[in-house]
Amino acid sequence: MSKHDHYRAVAAEGSAVPTLLCGHCHSTLPRARIFRNDGERFEDFHCRTIGLCSADDCGAVNCCDDALAAFDNPDTLFGLAS
């Protein structure tokens, strides 16, 4: 496995739909690329929820734990379509 730079995702302010932004390039993290960390792929990354940036020139690995705490019900993000 290659080494990844880890960033902290941020919650988009003023968005009608809970949205997370990449901590590196501030692109929207698509729902399909946000997942619970089961420790298999990112065992050295101590974060419960991971978001992978899909921007062409980024690809950063983001910890979403702090950003999800900004939402009243963070589990709603997992129920929304991207």
pLDDT digits (tens, 9 = 90+) for 24-62: 999 999 989 998 887 777 767 788 899 999 998 898 999
Q: How high is the mean pLDDT of the chain?
A: 82
More confident of the two residues 38 and 77: 38
What backbone phi and psi angles, to 5 degrees, belong to 39? Answer: 85, 0
- The SS3 of residue 20 is strand
- Sort 56 into a burial class: Cβ within 10 Å, 0-12 / 13-18 / 19+: exposed
0.85 surpassed by pTM: no
Residue 5 predicted with pLDDT over 80: no
* Torsion from C-alpha of 74, 51, 55, 19, nearest 10 degrees: 0
pLDDT value, residue 33: 92
More confident of the two residues 63 and 75: 63
Q: How far apart are CA 51 and CA 62, in angstroms?
A: 5
